[in-house]
Amino acid sequence: MQETVTYVEMTDRAQLNPAAPVQGLLLEPLDRTSPLIPDVMSRVGAPHGWKSSRRTPDEWRAWLAANPRRAFALLTYESEPAGIVACDPHDHEVEIETFGLLPDFVGKGLGAHALTLAVRRAWELSPTATRVWLHTSSLDHPNALPNYYRRGFRTFKTEPGTRP
């Protein structure tokens, strides 16, 4: 399946255009050994064909081991798991490696504030960071890229691709 991958970045914390808060939506740190990580990530990614939706247990272990600094946080809405954020902090940048809502929470007005929480978390993970970035696909939710732009991200690269 053909796709366009768009890479977006924020190069200063002040570029974040926060969304209005959503009462009951929280972002809580998640221990990297939590069974919620593969569970929630696979369910978030399933509608979009993400790799996380089809990893085997061995592939999950390898993915988790690949970056020991990777940090996870669970989005909850009214105390229910609603989504997940995975960030890969480096010395001067943080990649938001995964950001998404569970299908039951999509279309309920949570995405803008959820992204605000995720971006704030990413900046907090590396005090020396001068950039927070992520990528999205044309096969992801159609509101993803507009949400990134509204929060203050700007495109730095696009590339065509193919997803199995």
The tokens for 130 are 């001068």
Write down the pLDDT at residue 24. 97
pLDDT digits (tens, 9 = 90+) for 57-95: 999 889 888 889 999 999 999 999 999 999 999 889 999
CA distance linking residue 61 with residue 29, whole number of Å = 19
Which amino acid is present at 157?
K
Q: CA separation (Å) from 92 to 15, 87, 123, 136?
A: 16, 13, 10, 21
3-class DSSP assignment, residue 40: helix
Apex 29 CA angle, 17 and 26, nearest 5: 50
Low-confidence ranges of the chain (pLDDT < 70): none
Write down the pLDDT at residue 162. 86
Q: Specify the pairing of strand 94-101 against strand 132-137.
A: parallel
CA distance linking residue 67 with residue 87, whole number of Å = 10
60 with 33: CB under 8 angstroms? no
Instruction: Count Cβ atoms below 10 Å from residue 6 Cβ, excluding itself.
Output: 21
Write down the pLDDT at residue 137. 93
